């Protein structure tokens, strides 16, 4: 199945122009060639898991990641998330620790964020595929164009969406978001080296309480909260 054929229909309806662009055809060729030469993560049927689990009409919040985990059996097509039973990478551990502090919950035993995706949180990586053991190996221009189109489509929604932008890359990707209509929550990246440091004019991730802040802003705009249960 090609990349285009695996995009859910509801998302394809708002991404038609991006899918018809030459950059997307070049991206499809690139990913197919990479899979022919070796292991690529996530598996082909999970590349667009974030879109499949979070239908366009149900997007309530967006969390932007970087590229998929590049170790075996880790990436599942959702930013920061790992399959149940897999060790939690440092960034994910810090996210869950902040979630537990912020919402006063016990630390979860696993590392899957699939429940968030099903509750309307779009867990979108900047790059959706990667070669085994080679971080950023698939930083193809086609992914930049395609993901910019995803953000543009969500940005065009009339109802407010909470964008949690962690780190410089995520914040740079969100420069065109409508801050008057949507909720923009910035902090440093949750990685081990950055989580406790501020990022420009953004606070450190640790202690930033992004989950409760997102829901407080939604309540202020008379919108229901995001269900952050795991």
* 205 touches 94 (CB < 8 A): yes
Where residue 141 falls among pLDDT bands split at 50, 70, 90?
very high
For residue 103, what are the CA distances in angstroms to 42, 56, 59, 139, 219?
A: 30, 26, 21, 35, 16
- pLDDT reading at 200 higher than 80: no
Residue among 67, 102, 172, 178 flagged as catalytic: 67
> What's the CATH fold of domain 4-220?
Uracil-DNA Glycosylase, subunit E (3.40.470)
**DSSP run (H or E) holding 147:** helix 141-155
Model confidence over 15-70: pLDDT tens digits? Answer: 999 999 999 999 999 999 999 999 999 999 999 999 999 999 999 999 999 999 99
Residue 133 designated active-site:
no
Would you state the pLDDT for residue 110? 93
């Amino acid at each position: 199945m090609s990349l285009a054929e695996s995009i859910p229909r509801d998302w394809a309806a708002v991404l038609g122009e991006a899918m018809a662009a030459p950059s997307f055809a070049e991206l499809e060729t690139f990913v197919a060639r990479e899979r022919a030469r070796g292991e690529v993560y996530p598996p082909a049927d999970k590349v667009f898991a974030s879109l499949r689990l979070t239908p366009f009409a149900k997007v309530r919040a967006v969390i932007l990641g970087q590229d998929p985990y590049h170790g075996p059996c880790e990436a599942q097509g959702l930013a920061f998330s790992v399959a149940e039973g897999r060790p939690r990478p440092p960034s994910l551990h810090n996210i869950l620790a902040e979630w537990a502090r912020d919402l006063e919950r016990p630390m979860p035993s696993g590392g899957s964020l699939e429940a968030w995706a099903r509750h309307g949180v779009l867990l979108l990586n900047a790059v959706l595929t990667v070669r085994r053991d080679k971080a950023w190996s698939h930083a193809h221009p086609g992914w930049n164009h395609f993901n910019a189109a995803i953000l543009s489509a969500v940005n065009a929604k009339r109802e407010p969406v909470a964008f949690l932008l962690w780190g410089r890359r995520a914040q740079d990707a969100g420069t065109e978001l409508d801050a008057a209509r949507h909720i923009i929550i910035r902090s440093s990246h949750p990685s081990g080296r950055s989580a406790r440091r501020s990022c420009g004019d953004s606070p450190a991730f640790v202690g930033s309480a992004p989950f409760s802040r997102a829901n407080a802003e939604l309540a202020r705009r008379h919108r229901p909260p995001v269900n952050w249960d795991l």
